[in-house]
């Protein structure tokens, strides 16, 4: 029986409307918006284009799922439209479901498939695996699911879920080198919440960042409430890197607002994979985008907070990034402020009372942040 291929014309139009991004040759995701066929079609709508829609968000609306039959292995085959020289495949899975092993194989004729790479994922953990192999001609990419976890996490273990498939004609190292400055969607659900916040009313003070910013309204609620007179908006998302903030601010999060001040602190999630110079380029791209889209706002660019032990590699890399981005201060519209020392003891270490995990501030840590921030911020909010 011939299987149907589901592609949403509405989604394709939405993706086509996104701002153009200039890539080096080979760094385009050639699987983007490509159709696919599943060996076990899902009858509840999860067949639809979540596998190649360009959005790896780990929520059911943006995921692909197989059907619920108990027969394994299952597979899904993506048609790239023409022969490609595949070198890198990225597979993302959500934190729910029972996906275990994913085998990637390639074919030029949709009949004979050559193994390319294999990954065993942890259950209950959203993860993106970047898999590399020898340069291989292929038009068809198949993901095979030979097994599953037996434990049910939110949905029947007979479903296998995948958030996104990406295919590249370049080595993974080339992708990493450009990742920090290449806008990438990560969490469309939170993005929509921020767009709704814009519709709800004026934004006089804007915060852009990652989990350190994101958690302020919860962990540091009492100090966050002190910003209330300035109509604040917290656009921080846990796990975000520079590329994710870049995507968000190029897709509506700066539209229709006129904040007097914008506080930016981003980059600590980049340091695991990116060189300090690369992370700094991502921060610079964010600052330049905010300047372009909000020419009247004063940008308060914060140095990335210290993390981990004083002698740790992450601490050193964050300090190196700060040394570069401090030069973005022009004394007119961009002002750099490093308040990292407020979190350190006399030996340069971070007390668990300030940052229990040596990364995210406690309520007391957020109070220190507020007190260090306000003297400069007050100048912009008059």
Q: Of all residues in the chain, what percent carry a pLDDT higher than 70?
A: 92
Q: Given 66, 92, 191, 360, which residue is catalytic?
A: 360
Whole-number Å distance between alpha carbons of 158 and 28: 33
Q: Is 107 a catalytic residue?
A: no
295 C-beta neighbours (distance < 10 Å), count: 9
The pLDDT of 52-57, averaged and rounded, is: 82
Q: At residue 16, does pLDDT exceed 70?
A: no
Q: At residue 76, does pLDDT exceed 80?
A: yes
Q: At residue 371, does pLDDT exceed 90?
A: yes
Q: Is 357 a catalytic residue?
A: yes
Token pair for 359: 């990364």
Q: At residue 88, does pLDDT exceed 70?
A: yes
What pLDDT, in 10s, does the model give residues 98-129?
Answer: 999 999 999 999 999 999 999 999 998 888 89
Q: In the structure, what pLDDT confidence band is assigned to residue 54 with cuts at 50, 70 and 90? A: confident
The pLDDT of 5-26, averaged and rounded, is: 34
Question: Where are any strands of DSSP class E within 220-260?
Answer: 232-236
Q: In the structure, what pLDDT confidence band is assigned to residue 15 with cuts at 50, 70 and 90? A: very low
Question: Where are any strands of DSSP class E within the chain?
Answer: 36-38, 64-65, 74-93, 101-107, 114-120, 127-145, 161-162, 164-168, 205-209, 232-236, 261-265, 298-302, 334-337
Q: At residue 154, does pLDDT exceed 70?
A: yes
DSSP string, 184-224: ----HHHHHHHHHHHHHS--SEEEEESHHHHTHHHHTHHHH
CATH code, residues 188-380: 3.40.50.1110
Q: In the structure, what pLDDT confidence band is assigned to residue 26 with cuts at 50, 70 and 90? A: low
Q: At residue 2, does pLDDT exceed 90?
A: no
31 burial type by CB count under 10 A (0-12 exposed, 13-18 middle, 19+ buried) = buried
Q: Given 8, 211, 238, 351, which residue is catalytic?
A: 211
The pLDDT of 301-313, averaged and rounded, is: 97
Whole-number Å distance between alpha carbons of 49 and 6: 7
The pLDDT of 248-257, averaged and rounded, is: 96
Token pair for 62: 């943006």
**Residue 58: what pLDDT?**
65
Q: Of all residues in the chain, what percent carry a pLDDT higher than 90?
A: 77
212 burial type by CB count under 10 A (0-12 exposed, 13-18 middle, 19+ buried) = buried
- In the chain, what are the domain boundaries? 9-176, 188-380
235 C-beta neighbours (distance < 10 Å), count: 24
Q: At residue 205, does pLDDT exceed 70?
A: yes
Any idea which fold 9-176 has? Jelly Rolls (2.60.120)
Q: Is 362 a catalytic residue?
A: no
Q: Give the long-range contacts of residues 20-24, CB within 8 A, separation 24 or more.
A: 21/182, 21/183, 23/178, 23/182, 24/170, 24/174, 24/178
Token pair for 133: 């192999």
Q: At residue 333, does pLDDT exceed 90?
A: yes
Token pair for 254: 């700066």
Q: Given 83, 330, 345, 357, which residue is catalytic?
A: 357
């Amino acid at each position: 029986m011939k299987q149907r291929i589901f592609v949403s014309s509405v989604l394709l139009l939405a993706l086509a409307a996104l701002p153009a991004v200039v890539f080096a040759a080979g760094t385009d995701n050639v699987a983007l918006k490509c159709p696919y066929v599943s060996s076990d079609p899902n009858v509840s709508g999860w067949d639809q284009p979540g596998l190649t829609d360009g959005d790896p968000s780990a929520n059911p609306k943006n995921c692909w799922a197989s059907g619920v039959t108990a027969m394994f292995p299952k597979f899904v085959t993506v048609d790239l439209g023409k022969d490609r020289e595949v070198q890198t495949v990225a597979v993302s899975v959500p934190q729910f479901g029972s996906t275990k092993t994913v085998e990637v194989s390639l074919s030029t004729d949709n009949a004979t498939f050559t193994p390319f790479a294999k990954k065993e994922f942890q259950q209950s953990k959203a993860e993106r695996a970047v898999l590399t192999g020898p340069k291989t001609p292929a038009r068809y990419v198949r993901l095979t699911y030979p097994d599953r976890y037996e434990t049910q996490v939110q949905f029947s273990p007979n479903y296998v879920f995948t958030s996104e498939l990406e295919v590249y004609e370049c080595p993974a190292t080339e992708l990493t080198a450009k990742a920090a400055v290449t806008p990438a969607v990560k969490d469309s659900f939170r993005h929509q919440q921020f767009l709704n916040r814009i519709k709800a009313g004026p934004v006089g003070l804007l915060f852009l960042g990652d989990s350190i910013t994101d958690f302020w309204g919860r962990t540091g609620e009492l100090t966050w409430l002190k910003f209330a007179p300035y109509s604040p908006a917290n656009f921080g998302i846990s796990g975000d890197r520079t590329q994710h903030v870049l995507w968000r601010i190029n897709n509506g999060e700066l539209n229709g607002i006129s904040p007097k001040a914008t506080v930016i602190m981003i980059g600590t999630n980049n340091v695991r994979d990116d060189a300090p110079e690369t992370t700094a380029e991502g921060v610079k791209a964010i600052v330049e985008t905010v300047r372009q889209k909000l020419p009247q706002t004063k940008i308060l660019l914060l140095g990335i907070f210290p993390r981990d032990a004083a002698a740790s590699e992450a601490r050193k890399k964050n300090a190196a990034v700060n040394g570069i981005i401090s030069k973005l201060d022009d004394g007119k519209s961009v002002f750099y402020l490093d308040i990292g020392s407020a979190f350190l003891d006399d030996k340069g270490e971070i007390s668990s009372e300030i940052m229990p995990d040596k990364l995210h501030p406690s309520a007391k840590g957020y109070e220190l942040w507020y007190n260090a921030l306000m003297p400069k911020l007050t100048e912009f909010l008059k």
